[in-house]
Amino acid sequence: MEHVTRREGGATIVELSGDVDVGGAQQLRDVLGDALTEGPVVVDLSNVRFIDSAGIGLLVTAHRRAIEQGTTFAIAAPSEGAQRVLSLTRTDRLLVVHPTIEAALGG
């Protein structure tokens, strides 16, 4: 898993790529934890080939922490593979998912 973090429109955009799974969990936890200290977070999944239930679990944890902190956490532009996993695991009903980065920032 690779990641790039940038600030845009008052939010932290975390762009993930490759496979997001158990192996990258530690890295993802740190990245999302750091981003949440800065306020709203948008995770860009457009370059993710595959995300597993461990990766999804960390997104849910981040989502819950954002609510506790009174900020926002959203998923944006999931790739076909990522979208299918979100749908199969029914976590698209638990997380906030936007079709594009713009929509996520606008929302």
Residue closer to other proteins, measured from CB, 6 or 29:
29
Per CB under 8 A, the list member of 41, 56, 62, 76 interacting with other proteins is 56
Cα–Cα distance, 69 to 60 (Å, whole number):
14
Check: CB of residue 98 under 8 Å from CB of residue 75: yes
- Give me the least distance between CB of 63 and other proteins, in Å please: 11
Check: CB of residue 98 under 8 Å from CB of residue 77: yes
Residue closer to other proteins, measured from CB, 39 or 57:
57
Site string for other proteins, 59-98 (x = CB under 8 A): -xx------------------xx--xx--xxxx-xx----
Cα–Cα distance, 7 to 19 (Å, whole number):
23
